[in-house]
Amino acid sequence: MEDVFGEFLLPTYLETGLPRLQSIRAASSWGGGRFRLLKDDSGGRALAAVFVWDTAIDADEFFEAYIKFTAQTSQSERLEDKGDILTWHRPRRSVHLRLERENTLIGIAPDPETLALIAKDFP
């Protein structure tokens, strides 16, 4: 499945882990976004979502909010931090967040290998 990850859906998604006002603020200045949801034969799912922001400052604000969102919604065992690239791992779930200028990537996959495939060609 592939579609727009729109201005309405984004704050609604963030509200599952952040206060409403913070979610709205983090999603403001959304310049566009798309997602692709993939499913394999065993039922494993992977998500890739790319967002474009009006400015690099807006992208950074979303990036920081998504870090807090992930801390609230994911019980990660390990965090790889390379500045503008963060990766969380737990059994059967890995999350990747990357910031590059006005663009952000969110990847969610059942394992680190699938997550690496999602992240390899960004932006």
Per-residue pLDDT of the chain (123 residues; tens, 9 = 90+): 999 988 889 999 999 999 999 999 999 999 999 999 999 888 889 999 999 999 999 999 999 999 999 988 887 777 888 889 999 998 888 999 999 999 999 999 998 999 999 988 777
The strand pairing partners of 5, in sequence order, are none
Give how many domains the chain has, as a whole number.
1
CATH of the domain at 56: 3.40.1000.70
Residue 53 lies in domain: 2-119
CA distances from 32 to 4, 94, 96, 116 (A): 8, 24, 19, 23
Please provide residue 61's backbone torsions phi and psi, each rounded to the nearest 5 degrees: -65, -40
